[in-house]
Structure 1
Amino acid sequence: MAPSTHRAPASDADPAAADSAPAATAPRPGRRAALRHPLVRHGLWAVAALAAVAALTAATGPVTDLRVANVGLHLLAVAGLQFLVGTSGQVSLGHGAFMFVGSYAMALLVVNVPAMPLAAGMAAACAAGCLAGLVVGAATARLHGPYLAGATLMLAVGLPAIALRFPDLLGGANGLAFATIGAPPFLAGAVDDTQWRAIVVWTVALIGLVVLATASAGRLGRHLRALRDDAAAASLSGVPVGRARVTAFVISAGAGSLAGACQAYVLGTATPSTYGLSLSLVLLAALVLGGLGSLWGAFWAALAIVYVEAAGTELAHALDLSTDVRNNLPVVFFGAVLITVVLAWPRGVHGALSALGRHRSTPLKTGDSR
């Protein structure tokens, strides 16, 4: 009689044989596992967002395209501030100063090295902002709360005055004007200059957002959230407090500087009055309006900065107000919207939308009278 070819089940098999099997039976990481990686997932979202922006700008006019570009660069600036304030818990009142660094770095490069590619100019402006963030972060690593806010406030007040101190290099109060790079020749006729600027700004902004989202989802983000919740406990758990805080400043400053470079590219000029204290305060106020702790909050904040102030400007022109009132009404209008939103939704617009989504997704219990 032939010997039986029946094999014992895996649970009854010899343990030694079972130990030699995993090399042939263990599942290998596949395409689905790769798509779950934060960098890949955020990159796919960025590609989809850029396609949506391209379609939107193709269907609108120059005025809307310019506003779309402004939303993109303010989104990047507020997202960098979100990483510092919302993730690490460090309050900064000088984020506009880093935008000043990026704007003037971009302007100086275009004026003095006109043949430099746009991507290289953006990268150099980001590097200048990261260097400034490293200096400020190292100098304020031991400060927190109102002391840190006061130090960054001095930065926001003092740094734009450098342009007035060195007028030959930085143009003084008039700033630096330069010719921006338009659409490439092979897109002539298909894409106008304002549409091209919006696409460039959103490409840069989305690259920055992918970096910020990936850093926030990784080990650095976990360390920063631990510091935000309890610095003493995080230090006892092995988190390098000083290094993590300085790194957060470097990344935040790099994002702000890149946003300033985008603004200089869109406007074709860099002026010190654009980056005064009011800009830093508006960025922080808009972050509170949009909602702390999420990049979606930065998106709502950017929309508020651009469109609420635009509505205030249009209202001032419609009422035929004096020049002084007309110049200040958009800020007052933005403040009124901020107060209303914070009173109605203390966690900002994104917090309110998240709460609404959770409420709608929660099934009602049997017998619930709601």
Structure 2
Amino acid sequence: MTIVAKKPIKTADRVAKSRQYLPLLGVLAGAAIVIALTYTLPPFRNYQLATIGAYFCVTAGLTVLTGLNGQLSLGHGALMATGAYAMALWQNKFNLLLPGIAVAVIATTVAGAVIGLAAARLRGPYLAGLTLGVAVVVPSITSTFDGTFNSDQGLTVSLDPPPGVIPVEQWQAWICWSAALITVLLLAYLIRGRFGRDMRAVRDDETAAKLAGVSVARTQVLAFVVSSACAGLAGALFAVLAQSVSPGAFPLTLSLFLVMAIVIGGLGRLWGALIGAVLLVALPSVAQSIAEDAGSQKLEGNLALTFFGVVLVVVMLAAPGGLASLRVPRRKQKGRQ
């Protein structure tokens, strides 16, 4: 009698294959939650929910650039402005929403490639200074080309009303979160692949990455391009939300807020990018309420920056890895007697 040995079950392979579907399942669960919320929240809360989705696009791209590749950018607010103006110019001429968003992403991708080529040769404070210069230059362009960008008054964005009887705020939330969830899904699979490993290798040790065959310059440029595309998408969504674009909507403090948000949320974690997006909406809203109660409009902007600074210090002391690194302690199970 011949005994045939059974092949061992490859548990590790099964677990690895099952984990491949985790980003997709997370996105589907997030879509279901967002849809449910849009039917229960009042209009203003739906608008805030849409704003969180727009911020989620840019914080997700920035946390990939800074957290996984180690490049610090202080100019993502300017990249958002680039996408917003591209969206406004397209909409005012053609009034086609989805192609307009695509044009905004393409325009910002090209701008990010140009900046990324220069950024690949810079490190540390020099890179931060370059991107900071971009944030300062972009508003001046609107004043130089006054006939195209209408200077400080900005541009209105032509948009068709939502289909049927769908409220505007609910329609905006669907648009913003559809873009955000698709972006996060693509980024999740991107950082799980070879490109993600190359970014981590460059971040940890450029010399070792070169010896391993990784092109440091190409990886850094591609990381900046991907992050810029996310910023351009966020800018286009903000143009849809506000239905207008002006330099005042993308100040220098916006770039600082974005960096602080991803640090507080957790660098290199998409979950941390979501936490940062929530903070970008929640903290200024609280600051505005306090300023209105105090009867001081000047207090609003400074108070929001103060809140971010205090939260940043507290989080860095309690959880250096950001809020996404926190774990709920499990209770120890008592053994049976």
Common fold by TM > 0.5: yes
Measure the CA separation in 2 of the matches of 1:256 and 1:84. Answer: 11
Q: Which amino acid aligns with 1:125?
A: A
Matched residue, 1:126: 105
1:213 aligned to 2:191? no
Shift of 1:292: 1.0
1:143 aligned to 2:125? no
Assess if the C-alpha contact under 8 Å between 1:71 and 1:303 holds in 2. Answer: yes
Measure the CA separation in 2 of the matches of 1:42 and 1:130. Answer: 24
Residue among 133, 144, 153 paired with 1:165? 144
Q: Per-residue CA shift, 1:309-358, capped at 9, x if unaligned?
A: 1011101111223x32244322223322222222332222112x23xx3x
Matched residue, 2:49: 68
Decide whether aligned partners of structure 1 residues 295 and 325 sit closer, same or farther in structure 2, where only a CA change above 3 A counts. same
Q: Per-residue CA shift, 1:54-78, capped at 9, x if unaligned?
A: 1111101111011101111111111
1:89 aligned to 2:79? no
Matched residue, 1:264: 239
- The root-mean-square deviation of aligned C-alpha atoms, in Å, is 2.3
Assess if the C-alpha contact under 8 Å between 1:54 and 1:199 holds in 2. Answer: yes
Shift of 1:52: 0.8
Q: Which amino acid aligns with 1:345?
A: A
Assess if the C-alpha contact under 8 Å between 2:119 and 2:127 holds in 1. Answer: yes
Measure the CA separation in 2 of the matches of 1:137 and 1:10. Answer: 59
Q: Which amino acid aligns with 1:135?
A: V
1:77 aligned to 2:58? yes
1:238 aligned to 2:213? yes
1:201 aligned to 2:176? yes
Decide whether aligned partners of structure 1 residues 72 and 237 sit closer, same or farther in structure 2, where only a CA change above 3 A counts. same
Residue among 336, 340, 361 paired with 2:310? 336
Q: How many residues matched? A: 332
Assess if the C-alpha contact under 8 Å between 1:215 and 1:221 holds in 2. Answer: yes
1:43 aligned to 2:24? yes
Q: Which runs of 5+ in 1 are unaligned?
A: 1-5, 12-24
Q: Which amino acid aligns with 1:202?
A: W
Residue among 319, 323, 326 paired with 1:349? 323
1:310 aligned to 2:280? no
Assess if the C-alpha contact under 8 Å between 2:162 and 2:168 holds in 1. Answer: yes
Report the 3-state secondary structure (helix = DSSP H, G, I; strand = E; otherwise coil) of the residue aligned with 2:330: helix
Residue among 90, 94, 108 paired with 1:113? 94
Q: Which amino acid aligns with 2:186?
A: V
Q: Which amino acid aligns with 2:18?
A: R
Report the 3-state secondary structure (helix = DSSP H, G, I; strand = E; otherwise coil) of the residue aligned with 1:179: coil
Assess if the C-alpha contact under 8 Å between 2:157 and 2:239 holds in 1. Answer: no
Q: Which amino acid aligns with 1:339?
A: V
Measure the CA separation in 2 of the matches of 1:129 and 1:256. Answer: 8
Shift of 1:298: 0.7
Shift of 1:289: 1.1
Assess if the C-alpha contact under 8 Å between 1:50 and 1:199 holds in 2. Answer: no
Assess if the C-alpha contact under 8 Å between 2:108 and 2:232 holds in 1. Answer: yes
Assess if the C-alpha contact under 8 Å between 1:182 and 1:197 holds in 2. Answer: no
Matched residue, 2:274: 299
Report the 3-state secondary structure (helix = DSSP H, G, I; strand = E; otherwise coil) of the residue aligned with 1:36: helix
Shift of 1:211: 1.1
Shift of 1:279: 0.7
Larger gyration radius, structure 1 or structure 2: 1
Q: Which amino acid aligns with 2:276?
A: A
1:152 aligned to 2:139? no
Q: Per-residue CA shift, 1:129-162, capped at 9, x if unaligned?
A: 1111111111221211111111111111111221
TM-score by length of structure 2 reads 0.92
Measure the CA separation in 2 of the matches of 1:200 and 1:10. Answer: 58
Q: Which runs of 5+ in 2 are unaligned?
A: none
Shift of 1:364: 7.4
Measure the CA separation in 2 of the matches of 1:9 and 1:344. Answer: 60
TM-score by length of structure 1 reads 0.84
Residue among 220, 229, 242 paired with 2:204? 229
Shift of 1:295: 0.7
